[in-house]
Amino acid sequence: MRNNVQEDHHEELELYLFTPGELEAASPAHPLRIGHNRAKPNYHIGPRTTIYYYLMFVIEGRGRFEQNGGTYDLRANDIFCLFPGMTHEYATDPEHRLQKLFIAFDGPMAAQLLQRIGLTAEQPHQSGVLNDQLVRRMWNILNAASSPEPGSAELGRLAGFLQLFHELERITTTAPGIDQPFIQDWLEQGMHFMKVHYTEGITVAQAAEHAGVERTHFTRRFHQTYGITPIQYLQQLKIDKAKELLRDTSYTLTEIAQTVGYPDMFTFSKAFKKLTETTPKQYRLRQQTAPSQE
């Protein structure tokens, strides 16, 4: 048995409580407690409410979870969340006793953080999303809580907490059953990444990685949602900026090509003509000779 494990009539429980430091309290969300439990055959919690968010990892066993009018079967590798102010109830199957890791947290953007991994008050459960890496991440946070290093507990705790959600987001974005607003969220992240960094020679693979999904999945969803591929979107951003520079500056064509992210004049001119049916030089000349709109 591990240190700091308490045992009563319905569970073995290892629990660590955190007092948020100044940095944690100012963050969008921060951990408040972390724990691990093994259910006994009569394990049954609730009905009751909580004042914090509780993210639960089912390591093994089976059970039942009820919240906000929904009932969910629990199995190994499921995750579920207790939302504050909502009556919840959960219990183990006596023949397949639950073992869970859990982390409680709060903060002004805690609900948005959960939404990024596909958990909402209306859908507080996802099945089969855990893997060995995520479970190890939770054990690492719990082990650090059991023997914190002097002077570094706050930063390490917050970093571990956010890394946990980062890894969860990467896994759950492609899981079935994610609501369209969540898909839209990571698509917009990828689009924003391209809009900010298109002049730096970025690839679609980098945009997909930033959004937390695989490249093929990102490309397919992007095309379905916006009607163009990510490659086409990157090219359009570059050409639109090039048009602006051709029209409003005296930069040379080589300077403009490099400014918008093309390696040389030939590549720039070829891409420009493909989208506009004219060369950069011809476009600039027409803009200079066009009648004033004033």
CATH number, domain with residue 291: 1.10.10.60
Domain that holds residue 79: 5-172
Looking only at the bridges linking them, the beta strands covering 125-126 and 79-82 are antiparallel
Answer yes or no: do 158 and 272 share one domain. Answer: no
pLDDT the model gives residue 180 = 45
pLDDT at 181: 47
197 and 286 housed in the same domain: yes
In this structure, what are the phi and psi dihedrals at residue 164, rounded to the nearest 5 degrees?
Answer: -60, -45
Q: What is the pLDDT of residue 170?
A: 80
Question: What pLDDT does residue 146 have?
Answer: 85
119 and 253 fall within a common domain: no
- Domain boundary (172, 188, 205) is at 172
Q: In what order do the strands lie in the sheet with 125-126?
A: 5-7, 11-17, 30-39, 99-106, 53-60, 79-82, 125-126
Give the model's pLDDT for residue 169: 85
End-of-domain residue from the set 172, 206, 239: 172
Identify whether residues 40 and 144 lie together within a single domain: yes
Cα separation, 147 vs 149, whole angstroms: 7
Domain boundary among 143, 172, 201: 172
Residues 132 and 190 grouped into a single domain = no
Please check whether residues 240 and 114 belong to one and the same domain: no
216 shares a domain with 237: yes
Question: What's the domain count of the chain?
Answer: 2
The predicted structure's pLDDT at residue 226? 87
Same domain for 77 and 138, yes or no, is: yes
Bridge partners of 9, per DSSP, are none
Q: Are residues 138 and 204 in the same domain?
A: no
Question: Omega into 291 within 30° of 0, i.e. cis?
Answer: no
Query: Do 218 and 128 share a domain, yes or no?
Result: no
Residue 48 and residue 101 in one domain: yes
Alpha-carbon gap, residue 199 to 235, rounded angstroms: 10
Please indicate, yes or no, whether residues 42 and 165 belong to a single structural domain of this protein: yes
d(CA 6, CA 153): 23
Detail the DSSP E strand segments found in the chain. 5-7, 11-17, 30-39, 44-48, 53-60, 63-67, 70-74, 79-82, 88-92, 99-106, 125-126
What CATH number is associated with residue 102? 2.60.120.280
**The tokens of 107 are what?**
């903060």
Query: What φ, ψ does residue 88 adopt, rounded to 5°?
Result: -135, 165
C-alpha dihedral sign at 181, 182, 183, 184: positive
Is pTM beyond 0.85 here?
A: no
Per-residue pLDDT of the chain (294 residues; tens, 9 = 90+): 456 788 888 999 999 999 888 888 899 999 999 999 999 999 999 999 999 999 999 999 999 999 999 999 999 999 999 999 999 999 999 999 999 999 999 999 999 899 888 899 999 999 999 999 999 999 999 998 887 766 557 888 899 999 999 889 888 755 444 444 454 578 888 998 999 899 988 999 999 998 888 899 899 989 988 899 999 999 999 999 999 999 999 999 999 999 999 989 999 999 999 999 999 999 999 998 876 554
